[in-house]
Structure 1
Amino acid sequence: MSKAKTFTRHDISFLSDGDECAGWLYLPDGIASPPVVILGHGLGATREMRLDAFAERFAAAGIAAVAFTYRHFGDSGGQPRQLLSIKRQLADWDAAIEHVKSRDDVDGTRLAVWGSSFGGGHAITVASRHPELLAAVSQCPFTDGLASAKALGPIGSMRLMPLVGRDLIAKARGKEPVRITLAGAPGSRALMTAPDALPGYLALMPEGQTFVNEVAARVAPTITAYRPGRSAKKVSSPILFCVCDTDSVTPPAETLAYARTAPKGEIKRYAAGHFDIYLGAPFEAVVADQIEFLTRHLKA
């Protein structure tokens, strides 16, 4: 096993449709023009919620890493706040790729994307649109909005509709969004009500920081209609699917079915839940597999 490299973290930012996306660049020390992987998070999450843990490991393996926060969230720009737009988040990925390609301290021709949860679905979509990527990682990915809606259940979905309607009216009138809870207790009115959802989100936040547990309600129907797994068959680069076998948020059966359609897909499975993969032994297992995969395809 090669010795872990030291690295330096830099604060960076780039523009996406005129708004600023804040990020971190992890540069391995002593390596000229290293390959690079771009990391994006899940539903309503920011880069502080354990993206740094993965980025640090990649940098220690000689792979530069850019972890960014979507517009409208965290310390990135964009108004109104807590607006979760699939179209805008995909545009943020495109902007991140263009930013990395423009840098002279990394090798933008040896480039990969890494997404987790909702970002794992984005990683599939982005990889299908960017054949120049050498690799992609899709971790516990959201692949099918209908499957996730079934996991929430019809009663849970119906609870959301009044807030969605109010928010759409607010949007039409140019008012502040009507927000909905992201992760709540079972039976509550929230986008995710699995027993491990709220504890899982809270466990990812660093001590002393607060998770903003709400988004504009208008996103709910767009999530149901979003099926990024269908793009897996269009991904021409190698793509690694990291699937949690007891995932209560993004059902693994649908993910596995989509993953098998990727021409150069690789699948790794873990005896873990959706939020377990970020911490402890499951994290150690998945990050080791991802380093091996990225090192192989980025020629780190």
Structure 2
Amino acid sequence: MASHEEVSFQTLDGLTLRGTLYIAGPNRPAVIITPGFNVTRDVLLPRIAQYFQLAGITALVYDPRTIGSSDGNPRNEINPAQQVTDYHDALTFLKTDGRVDPERIAYWGFSFSGAVALAAAALDKRPKVVIAVCPLTQWDLDASKWRGVMAKAMQDRESRLSGNAAFSLPMITDRGANPAGFSSGMGASELDLVAEARKIPGFNLNTTIQTYYNIMSWSPFKLLKSLPPTPVLIVTPEDDRISPLADQTELIYNQIQSPKQMYVVPKKGHMDVLDGESFENVMAVQVSFIRQYLASDVA
């Protein structure tokens, strides 16, 4: 079984983020991995990290701030702009590990964190590659809900300043809808995967209402022009209903001026692109991309 160790690192604003480090050997290239929206590092990511490790690539997987084992309050208050800075601090931590080659580090993200990883790489030229798996393309709320959600967020701010707890709501209902109108396209397979995630210790279905204020006030798209010269791999499911292939192509891939590659995974959706029989092929494409730009010594 592949070896790993529990680690922690500090952010610039004083939080402790916790994760798992899968060491591939001495002086190895490395990849920094974070999970999707409101999900802990135990969902999907250990298998991915182990694949990279066995290919000769060290992998750091950590819980985003306010989620799982990492610090931050209120719990499950998600802020994509802060998650960008946490990628930077994760790299600062990782490059000090003597077993990692500090000049061969990549960023990796999935869905929500796929877009965050792209933004992080646009602002930080220390990572030499970025991989985004089905990066999220919707960064606003449903037109019929956003005014009400923002009004509730302002009420929550007033309430919290009076000493009350943060208002929270489920990120998804039993019918597959986000109550704030964030994202769409959930089907039966996506709901099944969420149900499985709920069984994992530390998983919290709720997010704070301020999460959606943070999302509405941020967009990764304006940063894409700053990605060069960092090479970019976009892994896109053919049947993605949450971030459709056409949107990923138009809003993200076509805007990138770096060396780039898009790999379309046949007959897969947003939530199962890294699961099932296509897993080996999808991971092999990513390892090949890292080998092309970072490491001839990757398996």
- For the aligned pair, the TM-score class normalised by the smaller chain equals 0.7 to 0.9
C-alpha contact 1:127 1:237 (8 A) present in aligned 2:
yes
C-alpha contact 1:143 1:228 (8 A) present in aligned 2:
no
2:10 is aligned with 1:10: no
2:161 pairs with one of 162, 172, 195: 172
1:122 pairs with one of 116, 121, 131: 116
Give structure 1 stretches of 5+ with no counterpart. 1-5
Partner of 2:270 in structure 1? Answer: 274
Distance 2:149 2:210 in 1: 10
Counterpart mapping for 1:216-231 below 5 A? 216-231=208-223
Deviations 1:101-121 (A, max 9, x none): 111111111110100011000
2:270 is aligned with 1:292: no
Distance 2:132 2:177 in 1: 29
C-alpha contact 1:34 1:64 (8 A) present in aligned 2:
yes
Give 3-state SS (helix, strand or coil) of 2:9's partner. strand
Deviations 1:112-142 (A, max 9, x none): 0100011000111111112232111011101
For the structure 1 residues 72 and 187, does the alpha-carbon distance in structure 2 shift closer, same or farther, using more than 3 Å as the test? Answer: closer
Distance 1:278 1:93 in 2: 22
Partner of 1:34 in structure 2? Answer: 28
Partner of 1:265 in structure 2? Answer: 260
Give 3-state SS (helix, strand or coil) of 1:71's partner. coil
- Percent identity over the alignment is 24
Partner of 1:154 in structure 2? Answer: 143
Partner of 1:104 in structure 2? Answer: 98
For the structure 1 residues 222 and 80, does the alpha-carbon distance in structure 2 shift closer, same or farther, using more than 3 Å as the test? Answer: closer
Distance 1:111 1:259 in 2: 22
Q: Give the letter for the 1:9 counterpart.
A: H
Give 3-state SS (helix, strand or coil) of 1:145's partner. coil
TM-score (norm 1): 0.87
Give structure 2 stretches of 5+ with no counterpart. none
Distance 2:7 2:177 in 1: 40
Q: Give the letter for the 1:229 counterpart.
A: F
C-alpha contact 1:183 1:193 (8 A) present in aligned 2:
no
Partner of 2:16 in structure 1? Answer: 20
- Equivalenced residue count is 287
Deviations 1:218-241 (A, max 9, x none): 121332343213322221211101
Distance 1:282 1:211 in 2: 26
Distance 2:162 2:274 in 1: 40
Counterpart mapping for 1:52-71 below 5 A? 52-71=46-65
Q: Give the letter for the 2:291 counterpart.
A: T
Deviations 1:3-25 (A, max 9, x none): xxx74101000011211100110
With 225-234 and 97-106 compared, the bigger mean Cα shift is at 225-234
Distance 1:200 1:162 in 2: 32
Residue 267 of structure 1: CA displacement? 0.6
Q: Give the letter for the 1:260 counterpart.
A: N
1:243 pairs with one of 228, 236, 259: 236
Query: Could you say what the CA RMSD is over the residues aligned between the two structures, in angstroms?
Result: 2.2
Distance 2:291 2:2 in 1: 16
For the structure 1 residues 172 and 209, does the alpha-carbon distance in structure 2 shift closer, same or farther, using more than 3 Å as the test? Answer: same
Distance 2:148 2:205 in 1: 17
For the structure 1 residues 170 and 87, does the alpha-carbon distance in structure 2 shift closer, same or farther, using more than 3 Å as the test? Answer: farther
Q: Give the letter for the 1:12 counterpart.
A: V
Partner of 1:3 in structure 2? Answer: none
C-alpha contact 1:163 1:179 (8 A) present in aligned 2:
no
With 262-271 and 165-174 compared, the bigger mean Cα shift is at 165-174
Residue 188 of structure 1: CA displacement? 6.3
Give 3-state SS (helix, strand or coil) of 1:8's partner. coil
